[in-house]
Structure 1
């Protein structure tokens, strides 16, 4: 990465962007926790109505969508698993600043990779920009995507449950 002029304004920009991303990640965790709690409470309080002949199907629909909400919210906050492709300590072209990427290196390899990055200001900025980019990508494609799914499933569950309740009620009135 070519930097024409070093300055505190660049450091401030990168620091502020990183802080913003971390705050967004924290907000996503709180939202996912809210959805987990809410859906769990709805299931807990609704389950006893499954034996009621009028409420059985609306409650079943609500519980079904709450379970999907719980799975989506839990997946949103679940740490990324699997083995990362090992970084080459001689050419740290991956995100060397993210712990999930450098855990495959020994301490000495990590220090060597950091020395390469810190040898030139342009590489320092590139490492920070790469970290910001990958964190933003992770937030957009995983955390917020699955939180949106959790919210949508919960709302859809309420709507479907209400419609099923109306159908059951109208069917009972006709009979």
Structure 2
């Protein structure tokens, strides 16, 4: 007797054909910006729908209907985003009819697909099973990775943009509002769903903490020193020190130059006046007294220039005699405990008391730093005013010396 060949059930054939058709359709026509509602998502929903149907003990016919609905449930995204479920039901009906699928079963598949709409009422077990499979993501360990894909999809497709905090709040609200209808889904996803809620709460707290820190760094207050303020003070101190050093070097240069000129002129005149030979003979400045005019101008110029340069270079220490009588040293905006010219006038006890106040009050610390910068700027203003005067005298003196020397030569000729 020949063995009887068992024919493959029709249900397996229709599901296989539906899989091939839907995957090919999605690969070919699905918009590229749909990175969440992709073939991968559809395949995952089908897998979960099959697992839930088996766990619920559905008949083969009902399992077939649920799986077919799962394959077609997102095909409507090819034509529309909002309300895609109804378009998905239409596409499923058209294809199943072409395949000769029974009309009543086709209508069932369409009803199941429409049940996945957010406002639909899920009354039958099959509808609830498909919805649970579609929402299985919130009870899986890949929830957070898929959520980022959905965020990107909404931004590109719907123009909805979210900050990290807003998105974290949105996802937490979604998880808290989400629920599973069937016992099979609760047994399969409930534990991971609870873990995802806990993890999302932690993520929200972390995001809010980062946002608060960023806001504080941007706004920054004297009550809580921030990096930007500290950088500003560091830069200002550095610039003041550089400018002061530059002024001292220029003043020293003028002192050296004019001192040499004065030495040469005085030595020359001293040698001429002190020499008996020069006094008896008609040479040098005695024979040409008019030459003494430019030499005298140059000497006066060098003297005035060197005096102003010395005034520029000499130390200028500001102090306040009344500091000892100030009861609140650290909070007085005219007092600068960071500068020796101020605190050197205090007793050791007063200085220690003031520094203790300063270290305990952050606003007082910044007040002293601001005061210090102000007086450094005041000293720099005096330095550069005197330095400019020294250079101006030297320049004018050289011009007058050259003019007078030229006039003397013309007169002589």
Q: Pick the aligned partner of 2:360 from 113, 119, 135.
A: 119
1:1-175 matches, cutoff 5 A: 3=222, 5-50=224-269, 52=285, 53=288, 54-80=290-316, 84-87=320-323, 88-92=325-329, 93=332, 94-140=335-381, 142-173=382-413
Deviation at 1:89, TM superposition (A): 4.9
- C-alpha distance in 1 between matches for 2:251 and 2:314: 10
List per-residue Cα deviations over 1:138-161 (Å, max 9, x = no partner): 101x21111111111111110110
C-alpha RMSD of the superposition: 2.0
Larger RCO (CA within 8 A; separation ≥ 6): 1
| Alignment check: 8 A CA contact 1:49 1:59 kept | no
Aligned residues of 2:298 and 2:397 also touching (Cα < 8 A): yes
Secondary structure in 2 aligned to 1:95? coil
Structure-2 change in CA distance of 1:113 and 1:5 (3 Å): closer
Q: Structure 1 residues 48 and 37, CA, compared in 2 at 3 Å: closer, same or farther?
A: same
Please tell me whether the aligned partners of residues 223 and 362 of structure 2 are also in contact (alpha carbons under 8 angstroms).
no
TM-aligned CA distance change 1:116 to 1:5, over 3 Å: closer
| More moved, 111-120 vs 28-37 | 111-120
**1:83-139 superposed Cα distances (whole Å, 9 cap, x missing partner):** 642314522221221111111101111111112222221111111011011101110
Please say if residues 86 and 102 of structure 1, whose CA atoms lie closer than 8 Å, have aligned partners that are also in contact: no
- TM-score, normalised by the number of residues in structure 2: 0.39
Pair member with larger Rg:
2
Matched-pair contact (CA < 8 Å) for 1:73–1:146: yes
CA contact (8 A) 1:49 1:56 kept: no
Query: Which shows bigger deviation, 14-23 or 164-173?
Result: 164-173
CA deviations 1:18-41 (Å, max 9, x no partner) are 111011111111110000001111
Contiguous gaps of at least 5 residues in structure 1: none
Distance in 2 (CA, whole Å) between partners of 1:172 and 1:133 is 57
Identify unmatched segments of 5+ residues in structure 2: 1-220, 273-284
Change in Cα spacing, 1:9 to 1:82, as seen in structure 2 (3 Å) is closer
**In structure 1, what is the Cα distance between the partners aligned to 2:237 and 2:317?**
23
Q: Which moved more, 1:47-56 or 1:143-152?
A: 47-56
* TM superposition score normalised by structure 1: 0.88
Task: Report the secondary structure of 1:86's partner residue.
Answer: helix
Structure 2 Cα separation of the partners of residues 105 and 98 of structure 1: 12
Structure 1 stretch 29-38 or stretch 103-112: which is displaced more?
A: 103-112
